[in-house]
Amino acid sequence: MFTGIITDVGTVLETEQRGDLRARIGTNYNIVSIDLGASIACDGVCLTVIALGAEPQNWFDVEISAESLSKTNLQSWKTGHKINLERALKVGDELGGHIVSGHVDGVAEVVSMTEIGDSTCVVLRAPVALAKFIAPKGSVALNGTSLTVNEVNGAEFGINFIPHTKSVTNWGDVSVGAHINLEIDTLARYVARLAEAETKG
């Protein structure tokens, strides 16, 4: 489990197709503190560490299944691509965002970006099947970042980014047309399911 609070911005150092896609990610994390088999959220996708190293910089390797590639934006990873990283939640850690599983539900598209003062308002379009789970003032995880929804208009919804968020994540590099990993808030999913059950009942 994760919180959606990004703790490092990693860099794709290389990718290689070996049945599944294997990626090497450069990080500022102290790799001595990372165990093989540990889970790290990479742009919101929970991936397992399969190798570690420190030359020429700290890095870890992950394998990405065809299923994960089909449901996320990870197929677009290229050398030099910046990635939001978060270590798995430990018992006793501060829950600064919301509960995030690292299981991406689909891919949203950035349809507009507007500067308002020092902040940036970003409007995204969600897959139609997921739009019903997104509500004003509710939470979503976008590329692993816990964010609050400002407004909803059909399948489109707006998010506001303050300068700090853009400086400590890869959101400072996002542009219109970008495809973004979207994870629906677990609570919203269950509320919608309960409402659906009551309607059918």
Q: CATH topology of 8-87 equal to that of 106-200?
A: yes
- Percent of the chain exceeding pLDDT 70 equals 91
The domains of the chain are located at 8-87, 106-200
pLDDT digits (tens, 9 = 90+) for 40-52: 999 999 999 999 9
Please indicate whether residue 47 or residue 92 has the higher confidence score (pLDDT). 47
Q: What is the CATH number of domain 106-200?
A: 2.40.30.20
Bridge partners, 22 (sequence order)? 16, 63
What's the CA angle centered on 188, arms 185 and 189, to 5 degrees? Answer: 90
Please check whether the domain covering 8-87 is classified as CATH 3.40.50.360: no
Q: What is the pLDDT of residue 99?
A: 82
pTM comes to: 0.92
Cα separation, 78 vs 60, in Å, equals 16
pLDDT digits (tens, 9 = 90+) for 104-117: 999 999 999 999 99
Q: Are 82 and 11 in contact (CB under 8 A)?
A: yes
Dump strand ranges (E) for the chain.
8-18, 20-26, 39-42, 45-53, 59-64, 82-87, 106-116, 119-125, 139-142, 145-153, 156-161, 179-184
Can you tell me whether residue 102 is helix, strand or coil?
Answer: coil
Please compute the mean of the pLDDT values over residues 171-182 and round it to a whole number.
Answer: 96
190: confidence class by pLDDT, cuts 50, 70, 90 = low
Q: Which DSSP state fits 176?
A: T
Res 4 pLDDT > 80: yes
Q: What is the pLDDT of residue 19?
A: 81
